[in-house]
Each structure stands twice: as C-alpha cells, then as structure tokens.
Amino acid sequence: MSDAGKAPVVDPLVKARLNLLAVLPNLEDVVRDDAEMRALVSEARITVRFVVARGPSAYARFADGVCTVGEGSPPKAPGSPSVVLSFASPGHLNKMFDGKAQPVPLWGLNHLKFLQGPFTQLTERLAYYLTPTDELLAHPGYLAMNTRLTLNTAAYAVPQLLAGDPDCRALRHALGEGSVVIKVLPDGPSVHLVCGRSFVRPGKGELPQPSALVLLPGLQVANDFLNAKLDMFAAVAKGDIEIWGQIGMVDALGLVLDRVPRYLTPAAAAATAG
C-alpha cells in the first residue's frame, strides 16, 4: 500500500518540546501587544506550570501586567502562587495544545478561576493569532501580530529540532558557531540565534554584528516566507530576501525551518488550556 497522502509520523516528545518551548513563549507578546489581553491579566500575580511525565516542563508567570515564559521550574517569587498542570505523557500535552484533551491540575486548585477564565481567554487569543486566514491577514494589525508570533516560533523551534529531529541533527555541524539575525524591514520584528559549541540559544530582538543576517523586506514578504508561501532560496535568487555574512549558516537554518510545519501546523500551534 502506498504511503502517499499520509500525514508524516512525528515524534510526540519533539512536538511536546516545540509546543511548550517554541509556541508558549508567544504569550509574552500577546500580553504585551494586545491591549485587551494586557488589561485582562493586569492584576494577576500567579504562575502556571506545565509538567510533562517523561517530557519537558515550562511555566508562564504573570505579574504587573507582564507575562514571562521560561523552561523548567520558575525562580522563586514570594507572593506569586502557582497552578501546576500535569500531563501523563508528551502525547497528552500535544492533545491539549490541539484542543483534544485537558490537563490534570495537581496544585493550586483554589486558583482554577484564573485558569478557567483569563488564562483560557489568553490562550484562545494566542490560537486566533496563530491560525491565519487570507481574510484575517488582510488586516494590517493581524498581519503584524501573526508575523511576529510565527517568527518567534520559528526561532525557538530551531534548538528543539536540532536536538530531537533525526533529519535536523546532522545540520548542527553545518550551522557552526556564531549568530544569526532574521529581521523584518524596516523596524522589525526580529529574532536571533546564538550558536555555541554545545548550545543553540534563541531570542527575540536583534544582536550587534551577527555572523549572518537575513533581511525580509516588509511584513507581507516575511509572512509569506514564514507561512511557507515563499521559498527562501528562490526569493534570495530574485533579490526579494537579502542575506549577509556566513551564507552556510543561513542555508542550514533554512533546512531546519523547513521541518517546523511537520510538527506545528497553524491549527496545532495554538495553545488551548481550557
């Protein structure tokens, strides 16, 4: 029987790490840039933790109208109670992100009102921004937010794919050491990757004097590229995308980014904790 047309098999652990460590950090931007969501959590002082059996852990902390997302256990913060959400497996977490399962609350049951109210509304808004349609993308504000969040997700996905995806592991050597900045002209958004001998560290914003620089001329071109409507190599050949510095780093990075849609379709990249 032919395998043509079948969905590719993905490692649930890799997908779980992408969901927690590449998609979830976008909550920071939604709270910062969406006035309604910022007002919704402006008085919240609480940490929501995600703990996956045989898998990753992460947290989203809310304080003073700011959301901070990090890997592992959060640093101690007096006066900031926690809600701990447990998942039986990486697959369980992935089903929650796909809207097909619920977490198991282990701690902070007296704060479930926040989880079922503001936090659910926030993750639904994240889902909205990460599930574009042509009609939505016609609105400049939505186009800007979708581009920013998709760019963030791409950057934060790179170290997880290099570590866990078998087709990406071999690209780690080609990526080498140094730094890469991807910037949407003229004023951003932008992301960067710092590559050391034993680590690849993503981040939001620019870096001075990167080893390689990818310039995307405007939000529409950037969005087309990030949503797989534009081939990077063809766009470079036409002069639509500019690359400066170590071209080999960008070539390797492009091959890694090509793997993101295998794990995170727009619908699956929308966190829903309610």
Q: Which of the two residues, 112 and 25, has the higher pLDDT score?
A: 25
Q: Where in the chain is the domain with CATH 3.30.1050.10?
A: 12-129, 135-263
* Torsion of Cα atoms, 130 then 134 then 137 then 138, to 10°: -160
Using one digit for the tens of pLDDT, what is the confidence trace for 98-113? Answer: 888 788 877 767 777 8
The CATH number of domain 12-129 is 3.30.70.260: no
Angle subtended by helix axes 140-164 and 247-257, to nearest 10: 100
Q: 135-263 in CATH: which number? A: 3.30.1050.10
Grade residue 7 by pLDDT with cuts at 50, 70 and 90.
low
- The CB density around residue 6, as the number of other CB atoms within 10 Å, is 8
Q: What is the mean pLDDT of the chain?
A: 88
- Are residues 130 and 266 in contact, defined by beta-carbon separation less than 8 angstroms? yes
**76-101 mean pLDDT:** 86
Using one digit for the tens of pLDDT, what is the confidence trace for 188-213? Answer: 899 999 999 889 999 999 999 999 99
Pairing of strands 46-52, 82-87: parallel
pTM confidence score? 0.90
